[in-house]
A and B are shown apart, each in its own frame.
Chain A
């Protein structure tokens, strides 16, 4: 079975380490915050200028001046700090964020990512995504393995305009956990009950299947 959105978030959360500063993108990446393993403390960075994003507010604590990068009302946790947008992106561009998790339309075997623009459709903008992919060392792209029409999103070369060039090393899809190494997707883990054949069929870019591919458990 392909992973659910929640399982994808759970799998990504296993990559968290105690003391990490983490930026979570909109969508499935946001759900990762719900699965931080016990005994681990991480600080969530929101690029509009908040380090230490807390939970959503109550009716009593909701505040128009406290939002996250998705423009949702939030709270600040104990230990949080708030700063201007240039300082926020100094953290990102300067490589101070330990892990960035974001979505994408496509990734390719050279670590290119396309996530912001579909020619012919209205382009709303890249927001902070280009800064995040260019600035972070440790990025996990989270997306479905193939489109609804069955078209692979793991490609020999991205077809859409790029968000960043050569910056992606790790990809979690609903079918697999993969690393990008030397111009190929290396399969590390497969979703429970998903065969290597299915992953191979849905991966358009070069796929390397080592001996020791693990089946994920939840």
Chain B
């Protein structure tokens, strides 16, 4: 890792500096496009008191769900949780704090955070519990809620391919929150399936330009499927 070469070769290096009480932004939607190895390494590191910002919190035993096992997460900022029993138990016992945030507002908070915009107005959530205690302003006869941007000490991101400059492309809907998290991390770590030669990624096709990225590591991924749904009659026999 030197100059514009962002490559690191171990998960220790990838997450060097991560400490108790930090805020971690994680890409992914459900289990799709999650930085599964970086998450697993946070588990190994044993850092605690984390605030984690992610659309969801994984499942029992996989994804962000593994950080619940040793109670490493103090606060979760997410739009939809509860695919895991452990999460539910820690929430009900008060060990875990949750800030539920509408999905589009969460995405925009990260986008704004990465873009240097401290807050923005949105109609989303007006008149609902989400707007409680927040400034409301009227524009053109409609009410909007002031929502504050999010930035993090670390962003952990899953890409498909990157070059050593930290230019990243994502694969299919594994893109989701990843580029937004990438832009809003003070230290952004991207794990990818393949680090390619410089010049291989077409400049106009880059999703996350390297300026947003501090460290790149190549990993191996399980890519677990949460809800495997096939076309009716698409069982293997019908394919033959």
Cβ–Cβ contact A64 & B224, under 8 A: yes
Cβ–Cβ contact B230 & A65, under 8 A: no
Cα A70 to Cα B179 in complex, Å, equals: 21
Cβ–Cβ contact B228 & A135, under 8 A: no
B156 to chain A, nearest CB (A): 16
Contact with B along A17-58 (1 / 0, CB 8 A): 000000000000000000000000000001111100001111
Give the contacts of B154-170 with A (CB-CB under 8 A). 160
A132 to chain B, nearest CB (A): 8
Cβ–Cβ contact A85 & B29, under 8 A: yes
Cβ–Cβ contact B176 & A126, under 8 A: no
Cα A150 to Cα B216 in complex, Å, equals: 57
Contact with A along B118-144 (1 / 0, CB 8 A): 000011111111100000000000000
Which of A88-96, A138-146, A210-218 is the interface stretch?
Answer: A88-96
B191 to chain A, nearest CB (A): 14
Whether A78 sits at the interface, judged by CB under 8 Å, is no
Cα A86 to Cα B110 in complex, Å, equals: 9
User: For residue B227, which residues in chain A have a CB less than 8 angstroms away from its CB?
Assistant: 67, 70-73
Cβ–Cβ contact A92 & B127, under 8 A: no
User: For residue B16, which residues in chain A have a CB less than 8 angstroms away from its CB?
Assistant: none
User: For residue B33, which residues in chain A have a CB less than 8 angstroms away from its CB?
Assistant: 65
Question: Can you name the residue of chain A whose Cβ is closest to the Cβ of B122?
Answer: A93
User: For residue A122, which residues in chain B have a CB less than 8 angstroms away from its CB?
Assistant: 82, 88, 91-92
Which of B17-25, B42-50, B97-105 is the interface stretch?
Answer: B97-105
Whether B172 sits at the interface, judged by CB under 8 Å, is yes
Cβ–Cβ contact B173 & A57, under 8 A: no
Binding site of A, secondary structure by majority: helix, strand, loop or mixed? Answer: loop
Cα A84 to Cα B104 in complex, Å, equals: 11
B225 to chain A, nearest CB (A): 5
User: For residue A83, which residues in chain B have a CB less than 8 angstroms away from its CB?
Assistant: 175
Cβ–Cβ contact B104 & A128, under 8 A: yes
User: For residue A151, which residues in chain B have a CB less than 8 angstroms away from its CB?
Assistant: none
User: For residue B129, which residues in chain A have a CB less than 8 angstroms away from its CB?
Assistant: 117, 161-162
Cβ–Cβ contact B107 & A85, under 8 A: yes
Whether A157 sits at the interface, judged by CB under 8 Å, is no
User: For residue B91, which residues in chain A have a CB less than 8 angstroms away from its CB?
Assistant: 122
Cβ–Cβ contact B79 & A125, under 8 A: yes
Whether B226 sits at the interface, judged by CB under 8 Å, is yes
Cβ–Cβ contact A85 & B180, under 8 A: yes
Cβ–Cβ contact B177 & A58, under 8 A: no
Cβ–Cβ contact A130 & B239, under 8 A: no
The contact of A66 among B172, B180, B231, by CB within 8 Å, is B172
User: For residue B179, which residues in chain A have a CB less than 8 angstroms away from its CB?
Assistant: 84
The contact of B124 among A56, A93, A117, A166, by CB within 8 Å, is A93
User: For residue B125, which residues in chain A have a CB less than 8 angstroms away from its CB?
Assistant: 130, 134
A139 to chain B, nearest CB (A): 13
User: For residue A50, which residues in chain B have a CB less than 8 angstroms away from its CB?
Assistant: 173
Cβ–Cβ contact B92 & A82, under 8 A: no
Interchain residue pairs with CB less than 8 A apart (12): A57-B231, A62-B230, A63-B172, A64-B223, A65-B32, A70-B227, A71-B32, A125-B81, A126-B100, A126-B130, A134-B123, A134-B125
Considering the complex of A and B, which 9 residue pairs feature the smallest CB-CB distances, nearest first?
A165-B127, A89-B104, A131-B104, A124-B82, A125-B80, A72-B229, A64-B223, A85-B107, A128-B103
